[in-house]
Amino acid sequence: MGKGGMIAVAAIAPVVGIVLLVVLLITVISGGDDRAAAATCGAAGAVAGTAVDVEAGNLPAKVGPYSGDQVKNAAAILSIGKQRGLTQHAQQTALMAAMTESTLNNLSGGDRDSAGLFQMRPSMGWGTLAQVTDISYAINLFYERLVKVPGWETKTPGEAAQAVEGSAFPDAYATKSAYAVEMMNALSGVTVSTVSQTNEGATCTAGAAAGASAGGTNNALAAGEQPATGPHAAQINQVIGFAKQQLGEAYVLGGAGPNVWDCSGLTKVAYAGIGINIDAGHSATTQWRNGVARGQMHPLSEVQPGDLIFWGGNDAWHVGISLGGDMMIAAPKVGDVVKIQKVWGTPNSQVWRPVDGL
């Protein structure tokens, strides 16, 4: 869509005809082989299998952080995806896009001329304002654009959503993967993915057993993440689990929680949770120098999950938490959110392993 950013606050437009749409939703639940396929739990929380139907009867009053018209709109997304003969992957992608763009509200406005569930822009050829705020039109158009994306079936749901939306914040969609799974389970009556409740929603548990242990609350391994090992694996899982609970929270310079973070604020509070004070103040520079002073530095080539990765030499200006290999979690910059990303650029040649002090 070429939007400069995600919508912030906008008035919720009346949802004309949505009650009728929900009443007419298909109510047959997929069974047999479809149920078996639905139970799979793929990489990064992706789901697979024939699209699920919305279960007969009243919709739940609340699913995760969503309620009322938000749940009705989610039901409409699932129903239309099924009617179009698509897959769970397509349904999850559409849910994640709407959750990110509008929090599942049919908004009358947003960034520039964006509007509706998916913040479609009339000036970018998505239709008139009346059309993009029509629930059925917007959902059908999203699916139409999705299936025209080359290779969309092999992309992660977040990547597929970004291919349709063209957001300035492409990593934001992935933070809603767990919520989408939770919504699909709740509305269909079919377990499309094994989930566990965390502060960021229900999280796919595939691969979690290798790295999960007491203390962490979100130990599902992200794509490319390596499990923590060694005598301090439990503490490392707690540090990483805390950081994952902040996924999608806004970067604010000087932020140290509970809902906004900068890079050193996130690392400081994450390690404070296991009783390690990495910084009496609040600075990536101080944290780097503390690691050097405590003699707990290791070569970057030997990085392990939980290690702190720095940029900027002795005057370090950025820090992130390693997830092993070339992956990390960090609060990157103004205008961005806490996210999992690849280690970029040229970091310092050493990393700090604070658990050496335990």
How is 36-57 classified by DSSP, letter by letter?
HHHT---GGG---SBPPPPPSS
Per-residue pLDDT, 334: 85
Return per-residue pLDDT of the chain as tens, 358 residues. 544 334 333 333 333 344 334 333 333 223 323 222 222 333 335 677 888 899 878 899 998 889 999 999 999 999 999 999 999 999 999 999 999 999 999 999 888 889 999 999 999 999 999 999 999 999 999 999 999 999 999 888 889 999 999 987 777 888 788 788 889 989 988 767 644 332 333 333 333 322 332 233 345 688 889 999 988 999 999 999 899 989 998 998 888 888 899 999 999 999 998 999 999 888 999 999 999 999 999 999 999 999 999 999 999 999 999 999 999 999 998 888 999 999 999 999 999 999 999 9
Q: Distance between CA 82 and CA 91 in Å, rounded?
A: 8
Task: Tell me the pairing of strands 339-342 and 297-299.
Answer: unpaired
Q: What is the structure's pLDDT at 259?
A: 83
Return the pLDDT at 193: 62
Map out the domains of the chain with their CATH numbers.
Answer: 18-198 (no CATH), 215-220+227-357 (3.90.1720.10)
Provide the pLDDT for residue 172: 80
pLDDT for the residue 173: 85
Give the E-state strand segments of the chain in sequence order: 62-63, 66-67, 195-198, 201-204, 250-251, 260-261, 297-299, 308-311, 318-322, 327-330, 339-342, 350-352
Q: Are strands 66-67 and 297-299 parallel, antiparallel or unpaired?
A: unpaired
Does the pTM of the predicted model rise above 0.85? no
- pLDDT at 219 (0 to 100): 52
Phi-psi region of 155 (alpha: psi -120 to 50; beta: other; left: phi over 0): beta
CA–CA dist 309, 312 (Å, integer): 11
Tokens of 20: 């009728």
Pairing label, strands 339-342, 350-352: unpaired
Which residue from 341, 345, 342, 3 is spatially nearest to 169, judged by alpha carbons? Answer: 3
Structure confidence at residue 216 (pLDDT): 33
User: In 133-283, which ranges are continuous DSSP H helix?
Assistant: 135-147, 157-165, 177-188, 233-245, 263-272
Please say whether the beta carbons of 246 and 338 come within 8 A.
yes
d(CA 252, CA 317): 15
Residue 277 exposure: Cα atoms within 13 Å on the Cβ side: 3
Q: What's the rounded Cα separation, in Å, for the pair 312 and 299? A: 16
- Rounded to whole angstroms, the Cα distance separating 81 from 91 reads 6
